[in-house]
Chains A and B, each alone.
Chain A
Amino acid sequence: MAEVVTGPKLRLFPEEVAEIRRRLGREPNPVEWRVFEAMWSEHCSYKHSRPYLRVLPGEGPGVLRGPGGNAGVVEIAPGVAVAMKIESHNHPSAVDPFHGAATGVGGILRDVLSMGARPTALLDSLRFGEGPRSRRLLEGVVAGIAHYGNAVGVPVVGGEVHIEPCYTQHPLVNVCCVGILRSRDVRGAAAGGPGNVVLYAGARTGRDGIGGAAFASEELDAESALRDRSAVQIGDPLAGKLLIEATLEAYRTGAVVAVQDMGAAGLACAAAEMSARGGVGMRIDLAQIPRREAGMRPEEVLLSESQERMLLVVERGREEEVAGIYRRWGLLAQPIGVVTEEKVLRVYDGDRLVVELPPELMTGAPERRVPERPYAPPPLHLETLPEPEDPAEVLLRLLRAPGVHSKRWIYTQYDHLVQINTVVGPGSDAAVLRIKEASPLGIALSVDGPGRIASLDPWCGGAWAVCEAALNVACSGARPVAVTDGLNLASPEQPEVAWSLRRVLEGIADACRALGLPVIGGNVSLYNESTDRIYPTPIVAVLGVLRDVARAVPSGFRHPGDRVVLVGALGASLAGSTYLKEVHGLVAGAPPAPDLGLHARLVGLLVRAAEEGLVRSAHDLSDGGLGVALAEACILGEIGAGCDLSLQRTRVDELLFGEGPSRVVVTVPGDRYETFCALCREHRVPVQPLGRVGGDTLRIRLPRGGLEIGVSDLREAWEG
């Protein structure tokens, strides 16, 4: 990406080098240059994305901690709060899928922990290419997530996987962590109280991950897979587990002022961010840092990304009490400095001063404005495509498609039950957890990221991501309350990418405003490109709240005789659809823009209907459209259904496999049908009766002919 300067080659833009010299009023020393290189990387500074991120609504009722901290926190009931955050570990996972994914899990757990919450659940959102190499990467990533999550005892309760060629060189590994806490226990990561002690806790510091922050911001080239192996850290889930328990116990002393994980750019970043947030400085002695190897240089100690290390600010005089807790859990704990009133971070190596920088300057990389260039999706000429002769065969084929196919082989490798809160686990529209301390309260979680749609229309992709995740949550009966997002794009220095970044964020922002959802935190991963470029991939996690978790609505059909009803937007489109890609090898057309007003009413309807016990199941229509949704509801419920679409006038492929936001299949007991329809009218949501649950086949009457497939055959295609 860039040029530089005097001395060692640095990854900074020339104007950034000039800015540093100007604002500092002197020439930084070589260690300080290294610190700037890491701190001003895209990964730590968000310098390209910050100008665009401002469009996101960060505030809202119940938001206790908005964006900018280690994780967002929202109050979901009086006294009960949820912390959540998405983090990507794309580049490390491309180089070493197992350890890259494992350490990604460790880092996001500690971000949530640092807000005062016990990490309660994980969701993973994965994107891989096609072919055996990509499959091995996927298996390595799944094993890495399982390795860390299972041992640390945080269940992976949901997620999604999509396979597209554009991710072959650049797989995406995004992990969302959710934690539960009492509202009054919420913490920040602002250092404060001059004279307070800076405490280092956790594992030793080694040379692993040096330069990781800068590494994450570079385009991966062909050789880097070998060359950069040293930039990948190795995680220790045992230490990660002990760090969670010890830190939660340390909080209970009341002596802990602030905590932050030493992640990207290590100690330097944690110390600078904590100081900058608190408007203070720190004096730190590197000689006190417990090390794993001899002969480490000051910049290596400062920037090491060794895992399972946290930086704490502890009330003066109580450092031994807090350190004792960590030691009892078998971890290291060592005072390494003090908080100072003067807003300067002074780092010593014994007697020698090695860094003397204002924290605001370290964390204040200037925003970069880059040129944008809009683009339009390739047109779709539907009239040139033949309609399928055998819709049943197409349906079975779509059930086998990688984006639709059951992810059972993945989620059975994750302990999704530990902590005994999982009411609905992976494989459903949304995961549902009970909250033991606030029974009968529950939460629902869903993560969604329609990269293919975003590649055709980035605004639509951003809006669609929010709409789908919110709708999944609402299908389970939960009221959506907050969003965290992970943006994954190629190089922002490409004008089309910069434009898509803006449009994706505008889509997310518009949808969140329409649904009344605050974005309480997020992550941006850029430079996911080399010879090919990934789709702009917004990944959105939505948190929902159930007043009574026992009323959670499942996705699968349940009861013979129930009415099968389509609610929401009745039409759909083949643009950008799974059908178009799988059957015709096309990614084309302008995807339908969500009607955000209708979407908000649909969400409201589903929550009401669940609370009043009107619906027996609800399943969101997504990849593969109505046909796949009906098939999945049959498979999940182990019961058939008969539906009549013979009066529809659209093409049969559009009718069965067209996709679009705001569409849900619900089942309603016969005697509640009128009440349900009245509720739909009240919410101004269109309703279309499709048929009834029953039998052991899925039967669909079409304008010409129809299809009938046994539920066991559907299952065989979907799971086999």
Chain B
Amino acid sequence: MRFGVVTFPGSNCDADCRWVLREVMGFETESVWHEETDLAGLDAVVLPGGFSYGDYLRAGAIAATSPVMLAVRAFAARGGLVLGVCNGFQILLETGLLPGAMLPNLGARFRCEWVRVRVERTDTPFTSRYRPGEVLRMPIAHREGRYYADPATLERLEAAGCVVFRYEGENPNGSLHGIAGIRDETGNVLGLMPHPERCAEGILGGEDGRRLFESMADWIRTKRREAVWQRS
């Protein structure tokens, strides 16, 4: 099982994601440079948090045009798992791999704190290890996390069960419908604002993020087994 973590100029959670995947979870993990066009051999791609290209136009907008995102688009179309965390989520929105857009937080300030997040669906490759409706403690750290989509898109997202994580209690950024994370309609692309890699070790104050990575690993193993079955 191989994970790839993309480094854009200005990514700053790429090393954190690699640490958790490699040292905490024990997965084979490699760095993927933003100019990479070949993702062969990877089972999952992580777009990490940070300020890609300084977020100078809009958060994630410039990174969305980089060569690796063409490869990620093709990778997702082939059914590969794509996880976008924070700035990675913003990049997924800007590329159109997920619907909607991010606006500056209500209050217009950066917010870094632990929040509560409810798991809305457990039948996804990213959440199978959680219990339905389970409330997780996870850290957020962003200035542009107010999820926005037009009413029709929102309705479609809700109807198709694409809202995977929702803020519980206080909505920290004014996100519509309290959305903290969504998946695409095929289900193998997930974006979320909270940082699962920041809560994967007890010493850092919480381990709720760990099961997200375990879920991905389960799904990859199952897929592999199915592939072997089909071949034999």
Residues on A facing B (Cβ under 8 Å): 146, 150-153, 236-238, 241-242, 329-330, 411-420, 422-423, 434, 436, 549-550
* Contact across chains for A413 and B197 when beta carbons are under 8 A apart: no
B127-182 CB contacts (< 8 Å) to partner A: 139, 141, 143
Is the CB of B123 closer than 8 A to any CB of chain A? Answer: no
The 8 closest A-B pairs by CB, nearest first: A153-B12, A238-B54, A151-B51, A415-B141, A420-B16, A415-B112, A413-B110, A238-B10
* Contact across chains for B141 and A418 when beta carbons are under 8 A apart: yes
A507 to B10, CA, bound (A): 43
Is the CB of B227 closer than 8 A to any CB of chain A? Answer: no
A142 nearest CB neighbor, chain B only? B109
Secondary structure at the B interface, as helix, strand, loop or mixed, is: mixed
* Contact across chains for A418 and B111 when beta carbons are under 8 A apart: no
Chain B residues within 8 Å of A411, by CB: 112
A693 to B139, CA, bound (A): 30
* Contact across chains for B9 and A417 when beta carbons are under 8 A apart: no
* Contact across chains for B20 and A146 when beta carbons are under 8 A apart: no
Partner of A330, one of B9, B55, B56: B9
* Contact across chains for A238 and B141 when beta carbons are under 8 A apart: no
A415 to B111, CA, bound (A): 8
In the complex, besides A411-B112, A412-B109, A423-B203, 9 extra interface pairs with C-beta distance below 8 angstroms are A150-B112, A150-B143, A151-B51, A242-B10, A412-B111, A412-B112, A413-B111, A417-B198, A418-B16
Is the CB of B19 closer than 8 A to any CB of chain A? Answer: yes
22 pairs from A and B in contact (CB 8 Å cutoff):
A150-B51, A151-B50, A151-B54, A152-B12, A153-B51, A238-B56, A241-B51, A412-B111, A417-B112, A417-B139, A417-B195, A417-B204, A418-B16, A418-B49, A418-B141, A420-B201, A422-B204, A423-B203, A423-B205, A436-B23, A549-B203, A550-B203
A74 to B135, CA, bound (A): 43
A422 to B50, CA, bound (A): 17
A340 to B23, CA, bound (A): 47
Chain B residues within 8 Å of A151, by CB: 10, 12, 50-51, 54-55
A422 to B203, CA, bound (A): 9
* Contact across chains for A238 and B9 when beta carbons are under 8 A apart: yes
B1-24 CB contacts (< 8 Å) to partner A: 9-10, 12-13, 15-16, 19-20, 23
A420 to B17, CA, bound (A): 9
Residue of B15, B112, B197, B201 most packed against chain A (CB within 10 A):
B112
Partner of B54, one of A237, A412, A550: A237
Is the CB of B113 closer than 8 A to any CB of chain A? Answer: yes
Partner of B110, one of A237, A415, A417, A436: A415
B143 nearest CB neighbor, chain A only? A150
Residue of B12, B13, B113, B141 most packed against chain A (CB within 10 A):
B12
Partner of A417, one of B20, B53, B54, B141: B141
> Least Cβ distance of A640 to chain B in Å?
23
B26-50 CB contacts (< 8 Å) to partner A: 49-50
A414 nearest CB neighbor, chain B only? B112
* Band of interface residues on B: 20 to 34
* Contact across chains for A413 and B9 when beta carbons are under 8 A apart: no
Residue of A146, A418, A434, A436 most packed against chain B (CB within 10 A):
A418
A418 nearest CB neighbor, chain B only? B12
Chain A residues within 8 Å of B111, by CB: 412-413
Chain A residues within 8 Å of B53, by CB: 238
| A241-B12 contact in complex given A151-B55, A413-B111, A422-B204, C-beta closer than 8 Å | yes
* Contact across chains for B197 and A420 when beta carbons are under 8 A apart: yes
A422 nearest CB neighbor, chain B only? B204
* Contact across chains for A146 and B16 when beta carbons are under 8 A apart: no
A653 to B203, CA, bound (A): 40
Chain A residues within 8 Å of B139, by CB: 417
* Contact across chains for B141 and A420 when beta carbons are under 8 A apart: no
* Contact across chains for B112 and A423 when beta carbons are under 8 A apart: no
A416 to B143, CA, bound (A): 14
A150 nearest CB neighbor, chain B only? B110
* Contact across chains for B51 and A420 when beta carbons are under 8 A apart: no
B200 nearest CB neighbor, chain A only? A420
A334 to B141, CA, bound (A): 36
* Contact across chains for A419 and B16 when beta carbons are under 8 A apart: yes
Chain B residues within 8 Å of A150, by CB: 51, 110, 112, 141, 143
Chain A residues within 8 Å of B10, by CB: 151, 238, 241-242
Chain B residues within 8 Å of A412, by CB: 109, 111-113
A419 to B197, CA, bound (A): 10
* Contact across chains for A420 and B198 when beta carbons are under 8 A apart: yes
A416 to B205, CA, bound (A): 13
* Contact across chains for A436 and B19 when beta carbons are under 8 A apart: yes
Chain B residues within 8 Å of A146, by CB: 110
* Contact across chains for A153 and B50 when beta carbons are under 8 A apart: yes
* Contact across chains for B15 and A419 when beta carbons are under 8 A apart: yes
B15 nearest CB neighbor, chain A only? A419
> Least Cβ distance of A99 to chain B in Å?
15
A412 to B55, CA, bound (A): 20
| A237-B51 contact in complex given A330-B9, A418-B12, A418-B141, C-beta closer than 8 Å | yes
B195 nearest CB neighbor, chain A only? A417
Chain B residues within 8 Å of A330, by CB: 9
Chain B residues within 8 Å of A420, by CB: 16, 19-20, 197-198, 201, 204
* Contact across chains for A236 and B20 when beta carbons are under 8 A apart: no
A152 to B13, CA, bound (A): 10
* Contact across chains for B51 and A238 when beta carbons are under 8 A apart: yes
Chain A residues within 8 Å of B55, by CB: 151
Chain B residues within 8 Å of A241, by CB: 9-10, 12, 51
A61 to B108, CA, bound (A): 48
> Least Cβ distance of A595 to chain B in Å?
36
A236 to B198, CA, bound (A): 26
> Least Cβ distance of B199 to chain A in Å?
9
> Least Cβ distance of B155 to chain A in Å?
33
Partner of A416, one of B109, B112, B195: B112
A669 to B118, CA, bound (A): 36
> Least Cβ distance of B50 to chain A in Å?
6
> Least Cβ distance of B82 to chain A in Å?
22
Chain A residues within 8 Å of B109, by CB: 412-413
* Contact across chains for A153 and B19 when beta carbons are under 8 A apart: no
